[in-house]
Amino acid sequence: MGNVVQAKLTDEQVHCFREQGFLNVGRITTDEELTWLRDVCDAIVKRKIGYTPAELTTVHIIDRCAFRALATVFSPESIVPALKGTIFFGNALQTVSRLLEVEESCLIGEWRLVCKLAHGGETSWHQDAVYRQNAMQHPLPHRGATIWMPLDLATQESGCLHYLSGSHWGEVRPHYFQDGHVIAGNVDPSPAVVCPTSAGEAMVHHCRTLHYAGPNRTDRPRRALQVICRVSNEGKDE
């Protein structure tokens, strides 16, 4: 779709990711594909609950359970298989392959569509690895990374990502469950790095990097796609 955008990381960027556990990799898709992805996102959300994210801004009777169901759509590529052929997905795999030093064929990518509604709440501090640990029911080496690409401008006001630099060097922290989400305990957010991100750019973070997304204080939804990658020969996949 449109001119090809290829994500090519410099040695300096790779070093930065390995030191701090996160990185803005820059533009990862085309304008044309970005427009298409927004339409796909809206169509999937409408299929799920009957409204697009923008339409929900004008709907005043929304219970909290409905909001939580909207926040994350698992496996959107099963609804729209063409997502797997996008420039975005190809660049996501290429980026994680370089950062983790593995072949792309060794990566398993799990898709998520995340929509933070206008005036939606925060996403608490957590490490993505805890989801994998819970699913496998035993500790794992947790080699993995997540590509996160907003479809709308992500600012501190609309709920961009915050990271704790170097937090990926430690173990997976204890987390607790609340309202269907995992939350890391005893996190000091004061040294967090705030990462505003333009639509079509991507953040990548290690699966052990502590991160957080603030509330959306704007009158517009903040939509994002993410691909959660792990190395396929971990744990039970060996």
Map tokens 């801004």 to a residue. Answer: 57
Q: What is the pLDDT of residue 126?
A: 94
DSSP state of 228: E
pLDDT category, 158, cuts 50, 70, 90?
A: very high
Kindly indicate the confidence band of residue 235, based on its pLDDT and cuts at 50, 70 and 90. Answer: very low
pLDDT score at 63? 54
Q: How many CB atoms lie within 10 A of CB 140?
A: 18
- Given the structure tokens 């099963």, which residue do they identify? 78
Mean pLDDT of 24-53: 94
Reference 48, options 56, 58, 36, 60; nearest CA is: 56
Tokens standing for residue 128: 């993505």
CA angle 79-105-73, nearest 5°? 25
β-pairing, 161-163 vs 193-195, is antiparallel
Helix axes 64-71, 31-49, angle to 10 degrees: 140
Asked whether the predicted pLDDT for residue 133 surpasses 70, the reply is no
Task: Give percent of the chain above pLDDT 90.
Answer: 66
* d(C-alpha 216, C-alpha 218), whole Å: 6
What is the CATH class of 11-231?
A: mainly beta
- Residue 236 pLDDT exceeds 80: no
3-state secondary structure of 139: coil
pLDDT for 171-180, tens place per residue?
A: 888 888 887 7
Q: What is the pLDDT of residue 49?
A: 82
The pLDDT of residue 121 is: 87
Tell me the residue type at 76: P
**Is the pLDDT confidence value at 237 over 60?**
no
Q: Is the pLDDT of residue 144 over 60?
A: yes
- How high does pLDDT run on average in the chain? 87
pTM of the entire structure? 0.90
Q: pLDDT-based confidence at 135, cuts 50/70/90?
A: low
Q: How confident is the model at residue 57 (pLDDT cuts 50, 70, 90)?
A: confident
> Mean pLDDT: which of 13-27, 104-118, 133-147 is highest?
13-27
Q: Are 160 and 193 in contact (CB under 8 A)?
A: no
What are the domain boundaries of the chain?
Answer: 11-231
For 159-201, the pLDDT digits (tens) are 999 999 999 998 888 888 887 778 998 899 999 999 999 999 9
Q: What is the pLDDT of residue 238?
A: 33
In angstroms, the CA 66 to CA 138 distance is 32
| pLDDT of amino acid 53 | 86
Q: Which of 40, 130, 126 is nearest to 76 (CA)?
A: 40
Q: Is the pLDDT of residue 128 over 50?
A: yes
Those residues whose C-beta lies under 8 Å from the C-beta of residue 191, and which sit 6 or more positions away, are 164, 165
Q: What's the residue count for the chain?
A: 238
